[in-house]
């Protein structure tokens, strides 16, 4: 396997890559002092020392609501940070695998969205992620992988929040009119490593989530059912759960391109959710 450097290695997706990697020393996870994608001097040193063939960028500003107030910080991490990595990759001939989001879409079209559909973000987070995609695409050797509703046994995510709230409360109110597809971060991590294993040169933008369609409410119900959590789940409308950022009502992604290009099968979201909850309960 080629030499790989992973940025954002301590976040949810980065940790999943670490877990799958085991003790393969071809993947380098920069330690704290080397990890800031805004520090060009440090990046220059890491690239010079590691000479990576691939860089996976899992680093991001992901606090969707907070981003509405911390616009500058979100822009720096999600745009300037990606630009810094793309420039280094360009200079070293490395491939940049960058992760983006279904939140680049407006969410007003109720059919699965393809890579050719217009991205029109409705939140600061979504806009910064779209601008970050453009920064990654400034170099030829790039993969931009849009994913959505990431969860796993690592880091913070909706599944872990629901397990916590389900244990603490008698009832949980969850939005039922926002529709998308959850993605088990372990499945995404495995796909990213597969791109590298194959040394694919089919650069470009790809949609990758798990298979199927659900709402946050149905997702939460599945979490409660699978984990046998005794809590009342109450479906509510978006306007009954005010948040600082506006989220897309429909952000299901069409995955034909990724499935055809890489001849892969993608797990159904509920099957992966069972795997995750089983691990969490071990």
Ligand X SMILES: Cc1cn([C@H]2C[C@H](O)[C@@H](COP(=O)(O)OP(=O)(O)O[C@H]3O[C@@H](C)C(=O)[C@@H](O)[C@H]3O)O2)c(=O)[nH]c1=O
Ligand Y SMILES: NC(=O)C1=CN([C@@H]2O[C@H](COP(=O)(O)OP(=O)(O)OC[C@H]3O[C@@H](n4cnc5c(N)ncnc54)[C@H](OP(=O)(O)O)[C@@H]3O)[C@@H](O)[C@H]2O)C=CC1
Set 54, 125, 151, 206: catalytic member: 125
Binding of ligand X by 266 (CB under 6 A): no
Identify residues 87-126 at the interface with ligand X (CB under 6 A).
Answer: 101-103
Binding of ligand X by 149 (CB under 6 A): yes
* 61 contacts 128 by C-beta, under 8 angstroms: yes
250 φ, ψ (degrees, to nearest 5): -135, 115
Please, which residue, 40 or 264, has the CB nearer to ligand Y?
40
Which segments within the chain are labelled E, that is strand? 4-7, 27-28, 54-57, 95-101, 142-147, 150-151, 171-175, 179-180, 183-184, 204-207, 214-215, 232-236
Show the site string, 174-203: x = touches ligand X by CB under 6 A, - = not: xx--x-------------------------
# residues near ligand X by CB under 6 A: 19
Q: Nearest approach, Cβ of 97 to ligand Y (angstroms)? A: 11
Catalytic annotation present for 61? no
* 8 contacts 57 by C-beta, under 8 angstroms: yes
Residues found near ligand Y in the complex (CB under 6 A)? 7-8, 10-14, 35-38, 58-62, 77, 81, 99, 101, 129, 147-150, 155
Show the site string, 40-79: x = touches ligand X by CB under 6 A, - = not: ----------------------x-x---------------
Burial classification of residue 54, based on how many CB atoms lie within 10 Å of its CB (0-12 exposed, 13-18 middle, 19 or more buried): buried
Please, which residue, 156 or 232, has the CB nearer to ligand Y?
156
* 245 contacts 64 by C-beta, under 8 angstroms: yes
Q: Which of 98, 106, 221, 247 binds ligand X (CB under 6 A)?
A: 247
Binding of ligand X by 224 (CB under 6 A): no
* 29 contacts 9 by C-beta, under 8 angstroms: yes
Report DSSP state, residue 234: E
Helices 185-198 and 269-281, packing angle to 10 deg = 110
What's the rounded Cα separation, in Å, for the pair 9 and 57? 9
Residue nearest to ligand X (CB): 101
**Residues assigned a catalytic role:** 125
Q: Which residues bind ligand X (CB under 6 A)?
A: 62, 64, 101-103, 148-150, 158, 161, 165, 172-175, 178, 216, 241, 247
């Amino acid at each position: 396997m080629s030499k790989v450097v992973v940025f954002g290695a301590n976040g949810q997706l980065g940790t999943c890559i670490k877990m799958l990697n085991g003790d393969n020393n071809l993947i380098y996870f920069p330690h704290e002092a080397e990890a800031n994608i805004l520090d060009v001097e440090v990046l220059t040193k890491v690239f010079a020392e590691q000479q990576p063939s691939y860089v996976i960028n899992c680093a991001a500003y992901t606090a969707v609501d907070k981003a509405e107030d911390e616009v500058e910080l979100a822009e720096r991490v999600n745009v300037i940070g990606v630009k810094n990595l793309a420039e280094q990759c360009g200079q070293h001939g490395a491939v940049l695998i960058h992760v983006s989001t279904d939140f680049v879409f407006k969410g007003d079209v109720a059919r699965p969205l393809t890579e050719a559909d217009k991205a029109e973000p409705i939140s600061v987070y979504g806009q910064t992620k779209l601008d970050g995609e453009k920064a990654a695409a400034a170099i030829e050797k790039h993969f931009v992988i849009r994913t959505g509703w990431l969860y796993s046994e690592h880091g913070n995510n909706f599944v872990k929040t629901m397990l916590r709230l389900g244990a603490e409360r008698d009832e949980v109110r969850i939005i039922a009119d926002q529709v998308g597809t959850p993605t088990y971060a372990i499945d995404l991590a495995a796909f990213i490593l597969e791109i590298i294993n194959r040394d694919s040169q089919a650069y470009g933008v790809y949609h990758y989530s798990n298979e199927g369609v659900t709402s946050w409410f149905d997702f939460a119900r599945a979490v409660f059912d699978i984990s046998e959590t005794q809590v009342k789940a109450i479906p509510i409308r978006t306007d009954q759960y005010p948040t600082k950022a506006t989220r897309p009502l429909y952000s299901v992604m069409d995955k034909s391109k990724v499935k055809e290009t890489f001849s892969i099968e993608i797990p159904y979201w509920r099957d992966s959710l069972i795997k995750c909850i089983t691990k969490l309960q071990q």
